[in-house]
Structure 1
């Protein structure tokens, strides 16, 4: 297994929209070689937190640090160490799958960042046969696979995935679970949310519960739990209260 890479840290993140406070001094640390799941009711602030962590939104208060450096002050080269996949795939409908990946690769190359070859990235997510099809003709599930393929092709140190299992069929979910395990072994730090609680409990090393704008609970996978059953039950209990029941 690769040596752990520099973690992403968030300290005291707070965000307000009008009179509504969405995040309240959230602290979070992602270590290399781990998968962290995030659960919470709709409107709990998961997407807002992801947007701040990925640099798409500035927090009202708090900071993000990568390797001890403030992310807001990082160069474009260091920003290339992040990859974010939004809940709804952000892909170009008027381009082919291959062109979508080559466009992203070109942008990364401009700052000296390497990317997996497009054909290899597409094959990894089962999209080889659709490489030259216009994305506008893709199903929601295929568009999701493409968005994931583009993010994972960047081989980033930090992956932030908002509902990555959405719209994937059973085969696609199993494939993504395998790829997540591979990325963890590579040393990536991965944060993801999912309403598929069983799958999240299967792939994650830790699960955090966001409620009322704060991290209200956490469960960890233990070395003395080889089949993960105790972790799975603890994770299910974490979101089985009123806030968890509101998810969906």
Structure 2
């Protein structure tokens, strides 16, 4: 049996990269998927790829009204929400802490931390209505260890790590599991690859202890594990998928 048969998943940032790879795998495993993205062209292209199993929805995850509308669209089209993958995010340039523009910091916070918080907050009633469900967040290896030039980004992703811990405890009695994935250096659309994942992953031995970049499909596999009953006793976990970056 397919592991997500009859499930409905909402994935933010699903127009490209890790989100799109996850949507592709979830559909293959039987799910209906909401492709939520701020890039309407990418979202539509992804939804077209998946046919009747997907719809495209515009979302700015930093805006509460957009997040609520995204979830309402899932219920209107597919009848419910079982899984929310708060995946949308970005890192920006590597730069010293004192060089980070204040307006950029606000945007970084709005997408990478506030967006995750809003997703969790507004999906709760939908998941409670089903008797439970799953929330997955995209944190980062940089939320678990420091890296020169990424202090601001790491702070936001560290916030996602802490939010995941707290939300898992708050929602356990509702049978809602909350976990995060902490990617290392993954080659995605935001790093110059094609949005549909068709670009060849370049060689770069320094990307991880395993001597290569991670692939978007490897994040998707971790998300499938956390979304499915394979992880039915797993909550409050921040899972590095980083080729050994955190271990170093």
Q: Quick one: higher RCO (CA 8 Å, sep 6+), 1 or 2?
A: 1
Structure with the bigger percentage of helix: 2
TM-score using structure 2 length:
0.30
